Chains A and B, each alone.
Chain A
Amino acid sequence: MAEIAIKGVAKRFGGFTALHQVDLTISDQEFMVLLGASGCGKTTLLRIVAGLETPSQGEVWIGGRRVDHLPPRDRGIAMVFQNYAVFPHLTVFENIAFGLRMKKLPQADVERRVTRTAELMHIEQLLKRYSGQLSGGQRQRVAVARALAMEPDVILMDEPLSNLDALLRLEMRAELKGVLAASKTTTIYVTHDQVEAMSLADRIAVMHQGRIVQAASPVEVYRNPAARFVGSFIGNPPMNFIPATKAANGDWTVAGLTLPGPKSDRQRIEFAIRPEDVDAGSEGLHATVRVIEPLGPHTLVTCDVEGGLFRAILDSNAGVQVGDHLRLAPKPDRIRWFDPETTNALLAKVLNRP
């Protein structure tokens, strides 16, 4: 049982603030992904939980125990590093056994646990080799096996797949998900790859400039971004944003279209829609086609809407040409609104929620 609670954790490096007052609770056996661009503080937060970095303020609790003053070895964690950190002077067997030997387990137990985790990670035929004789993917497996062999309450992973090639990454991703679910540990996983985050996470915490912008399930993060940044960061291509001006209370004019939206005192807010949530038809936003990219199952169309770029994913058979004028009708339940100053999402009246 290991719930992780991060309470008001901040980290400053000299004059630079890497983390501002982060609060996050991760429940037992949950798979939490910290997602963000490089420099957003996600790795710093992970290292604070691991005990490799001390927070400037705030508390870290693991399994109901305050740990922020404890060294890494007393926190009940295991960590997988981006460059694997497989000890080059030890065999694969001794690498996996390293933590168990530090716990002074009897030799029979060590052998049993090493063999079991090696089988789990499909590296049982590599146990006598050294790190220099392994491929990147195999080293990755050794690093994960070494962490799992500890049977920790919490596994921390710092971009563990980012050094693998694309195909191997896909394979390891599915395997990791299965192995970690079976091990019943609480996992914090740091990545900048949104597809990885989506596919692995129970919950994603999207980080930006040292803050957690939104922590929610992958679908929620995708469908209902809490802030403009989340919509523009997640999704490939990302969300489209168009300025909206007030028509009446609760009604907004967007590229010549009047749509029901949130009640707000502001005169201008932002309308947002995902590229796949528009249909080409006889009514909707006025768009001029600039670029057409056929992608097989569908076609990515880049248009001009109100002088800004707008990307739409249309059916492959839509038959659009460069220069065409289209009317793109947004699906009403998929429209989102953002406050341009706070950048937070504005809740529309009632009808928009799925």
Chain B
Amino acid sequence: MSAVAEVPVAAVADARKAGDWLLIATAILLCVWVLLPIYLLIVNALSSPGEVTAFPKRFFPSFDFGSLSFFIEFAGVARALWNSVLVASLTMVLAIGFGAPAGYALSRFDFPGKETFRFLVLMTRAFPLPLLALPLAVMFIRTGLDDTAIGLALVHTTLALPFAVLITFSLFSGIPVELEEAAWTLGCTRWQAFRKVILPLALPGIAASAVFAFTISWNEVFAAAVLTIENRTLTAFLLQSLGESPLYLKFAGGAALVVPALIFIFAVRKYLFAMWGIANR
């Protein structure tokens, strides 16, 4: 009896142990997949030009800022950086300005077609940007929006808006409607209740979704390359000019692009998880 019982117990324990190992191995593999390129990028960006092509590599970089400072002083980089910040900031303002009210409406009101609307918001991401970029470029040239920060920001806003809507929707849904109703019974108008109760509670999440919109614009390269010529953003500028640059400059440029975006995403990870329905607390 006991022998019969022991075999399955041992087998289950073995299977569980194997499962644990598989989980750990997969996690390590995925971490390496994501982190190794970033590691190499940063190590090479912080190495002197000679070390970039040398072999074997040093595990810790020599913290030589030569490549980075050369890159920063490279003609046009400062301007492209400024353009990137400008376009990303405009995108952030537009995406939150339109997205947060939409998210609030979705979470608080019932209206016909609500589910369809939520679905359509996501569907805008289904159109490949290259398909839209050429007609957009033609339209922008006709209306005079081509090669302007606001024109590019409008395109980036359409990319960032679905996320802004869905993040703020889940954010507002997480705030009990009774808090708002209590504020109404205590003398608030709808707007006062929003400003005094809902906004303070939602602000960290709204900030996170703003940063996410900023990052989407910061990272976007295709529309930026097609729709701007003189006023290139950093991504478009790098795409154009780094092709012919030496390897160590490519690393410096890559790091300058990736590191801010990484820091931003890391700062707001909690709210992105919330949007995707993963509990993180």
Contacts and interface: CB of A to CB of B under 8 A. Distances in A.
Interface stretch (A73-81, A117-125, A200-208, A316-324): A73-81
Contacts of A85: 176, 178-179, 181-182
A77 B197 contact: no
A102 B200 CA distance: 17
A50 interface: yes
B183 A50 contact: no
B185 A77 contact: yes
Interface string A58-72: 000000000000011
A89 B200 contact: yes
A134 to B, nearest CB: 15
A98 interface: yes
A257 B216 CA distance: 84
B184 A71 contact: yes
A81 B201 CA distance: 19
Given A87-B197, A89-B200, A89-B201, A146 B186 contact: yes
Interface of B is mostly: helix
A73 B200 contact: no
A253 interface: no
B185 A87 contact: no
Contacts of B181: 50, 52, 72, 79, 81, 85
A102 B192 contact: yes
Contacts of B183: 87, 98
A74 to B, nearest CB: 9
A99 B183 CA distance: 8
B186 A98 contact: yes
A85 B180 CA distance: 8
A72 B176 contact: no
Interface in B149-180: 176, 178-179
Interface of B: 176, 178-179, 181-189, 192, 196-197, 200-201
Given A52-B181, A52-B184, A79-B181, 11 more contacts: A71-B184, A72-B185, A73-B185, A73-B186, A73-B187, A81-B181, A83-B176, A89-B200, A99-B186, A99-B187, A146-B186
7 contacts: A73-B185, A81-B181, A85-B178, A87-B179, A89-B201, A99-B186, A146-B186
